[in-house]
Amino acid sequence: MPTVYVTRKAHFNAAHRLHNPEKSDEWNRTTFGPCNNPNWHGHNYELTVTVGGKPNPDTGYVIDLAELKHIIEENVIRHLDHKNLNLDVPFLRGVLPSTENLVIAIWDRLAEALPAGKLYRIRLHETQRNSAEYFGPDK
């Protein structure tokens, strides 16, 4: 049986500030521009989670997409939606909340939570034009 990839989309809204405390304020302003606003800024994020695997012969599913929706909601969305990513999210403590770092953190939250299939890709759109993708460690 061939490998099939299924994707579920989710949304969340969150605020953050890109600021490296190990660097000077001038370096942060120059490097991050408006994303370094001390009063934060927000995004309407769009998350896509892709799971790959062989379809179950009894259901035809790689993973039940309703179950995947629940896993994404419980492990990611409820922790990030309408939160300040710098201050409110324990699993992001000490992490500069760039889109690149967020996809890694989201991967880590979901990879072990799947009952079927294997996490293949996390894609996170920060804006309509900017996104990051992660295919897991060592890929």
Where in the sequence numbering do the catalytic residues fall? 35, 82, 126
- Which residue matches tokens 């967020």? 102
Residues 6+ apart with CB under 8 A from 129: none
> What is the Cα–Cα distance from 102 to 16, expressed in whole angstroms?
11
> What is the Cα–Cα distance from 17 to 84, expressed in whole angstroms?
9
Which has the closest alpha carbon to 37: 16, 20, 22, 23? 16
> What is the Cα–Cα distance from 99 to 103, expressed in whole angstroms?
6
Per-residue burial over 49-78, b = 16 or more CB atoms within 10 Å of its CB, e = otherwise = bbbbbebeeeeebbbbeeebeebbeebbbe
